[in-house]
Amino acid sequence: MASLKALKVRINSVKSTQKITKAMKMVAAAKLRRAQEAAQNGRPYAERLEAVMASLASRVGGVGASPLLAGTGKDQVQLIVVATSERGLAGAFNSNIVRAARRKADELTAQGKTVKFYIAGKKGRVLRRFFPNAILADHEMGHIKTVAFDDARVIADDLIARYLKGEFDVAHLFFSKFVSALNQEPTGIQIIPVPLPEKQPAAAGAGAVVEYEPDEESILADLLPRNVAIQIFRALLENAASEQGSRMNAMDNATRNAGDMINRLSIQYNRTRQAAITTELVEIISGAEAL
Amino acid sequence: MLHFELVTPEKLLRSEEVHMVTVPGTEGDFAVLEGHAPFMSTIRDGQILIQRSPGAAPESIAIRGGFAEVSAKGLTVLAEHAG
């Protein structure tokens, strides 16, 4: 049986761990609110852009369109962009994203495709261990505190430049979709070539003759890179919110577990103490009787 | 009144009823009043001028990168940066 002193030390250590997890939970909750707001604020832009893209793309059609829309005509080299967080201690948040990306990679490899990775976020670097020769780039994001559109723009520009150089044919983006504070879903979407939004016949065919300046093709060509950037931006925002939600949960659980452990240890401590007292008493009494 | 919306990826910056908006289009500035024909244009970096009522002093917002869409619902400017 552990000594009283050892138990006391143990209890104190668990108590300080609990203090830390509790503080982290509270910080995550506060950050979550802000991250969620940011994710919501980004929605109107994305929605409007998507609507415009849909109506434009249905007009322009696939002929002579930009490679960002039409693709390279091949799908041999598949790029997987993995967006993760910079910090750990967020439950299964990062490993869920990485697992989803790996599953996709295995699936594509089984189809005979070449898979490459583009890592955005420090925690995605574990992929190096699994695919040491398939890492195309590792995008440094450690300096970013709150995600701004420019951060996404940098990634998008880099991706598009690599795409036009022919480094890959199709790009998928993996991130964690924020469903609620309790539920985050690792998700993969295709970002290059830009998948066309479903045509909405009611909205597009409203009969209004829209005038374009310059022409439809030029506007679309201007919008396509922007669409890639906005997809990445949204993914980063969703990721930020998911990360905080996931951390809040993980830390809540950790705090609860620490509480349980403290209770258990306290009971053990009290019993041990009582046992020691009883033994001492028995010794004194039997000593007295022997006289 | 013209319904005017200015949206950036970070947030919905403006959504209000105004008299007239002057937008710096790639092929020249254009002003939008209520009942404008459906129109879409890319924009160049510059100032967007918002007039709340006829004759009022215009408010100016700097915008960068994006496009403007005029539909029956009003004018929507999607800019990468604004303000």
CA distance A83 to chain B (A): 19
Q: Closest by alpha carbon to A48, among B38, B70, B61? A: B70
| CATH number where B67 lies | 2.60.15.10
CATH superfamily of domain region A34-250: ATP synthase, F1 complex, gamma subunit (3.40.1380.10)
Cβ(A211)–Cβ(B38) below 8 Å: yes
Mean pLDDT of chain A: 87
B71 shares contact with chain A (CB less than 8 Å): yes
Kindly report, residue by residue over A150-161, the tens digit of the pLDDT: 889 999 999 999
* Long-range contacts, A158-164 (Cβ 8 Å, 24+): A159/A79, A159/A81, A159/A118, A159/A191, A159/A192, A159/A228, A159/A232, A160/A68, A160/A192, A160/A225, A160/A228, A162/A79, A162/A136, A162/A137, A163/A67, A163/A68, A163/A192, A164/A67
- Contact check, Cβ <8 Å, B67/A52: yes
B55 shares contact with chain A (CB less than 8 Å): no
Task: Copy the structure tokens of residue A133.
Answer: 């020769």
Cβ(B40)–Cβ(B4) below 8 Å: no
Q: Which helix (H) or strand (E) holds A91?
A: none
Q: What is the pLDDT of residue A34?
A: 92
- Contact check, Cβ <8 Å, A149/B9: yes
Cβ(B2)–Cβ(B20) below 8 Å: yes
Q: What is residue A251's DSSP assignment?
A: H
Q: Which CATH topology does A4-22+252-290 take?
A: Helix Hairpins (1.10.287)
Q: What is the pLDDT of residue A203?
A: 47
Helix axes A216-290, A149-164, angle to 10 degrees: 120
Beta-carbon contacts of B18 under 8 Å, excluding residues fewer than 6 positions away, are: B1, B2, B4, B50, B51, B52
Beta-carbon contacts of A262 under 8 Å, excluding residues fewer than 6 positions away, are: A11, A14, A15, A18
Q: What is the pLDDT of residue A200?
A: 52
pLDDT at A202 exceeding the cut of 80: no
CA distance A187 to chain B (A): 21
Phi, then psi, of A167 in degrees rounded to 5 = -75, -20
* Total domains in the fold of chain B: 1
Kindly report, residue by residue over A100-136, the tens digit of the pLDDT: 999 999 999 999 899 999 999 888 888 888 888 888 8
Q: What is the pLDDT of residue A48?
A: 85
Q: What is the pLDDT of residue A286?
A: 94
- Contact check, Cβ <8 Å, A223/B38: no
- Contact check, Cβ <8 Å, A45/B27: no
Range of the domain at B68: 2-33+42-82
Task: Copy the structure tokens of residue A83.
Answer: 């967006």
User: What is the C-alpha to C-alpha distance for residues A255 and A20, in angstroms, rounded to an integer?
Assistant: 9
Kindly report, residue by residue over A204-230, the tens digit of the pLDDT: 444 557 788 788 778 888 888 888 998
pTM to 2 decimal places: 0.84
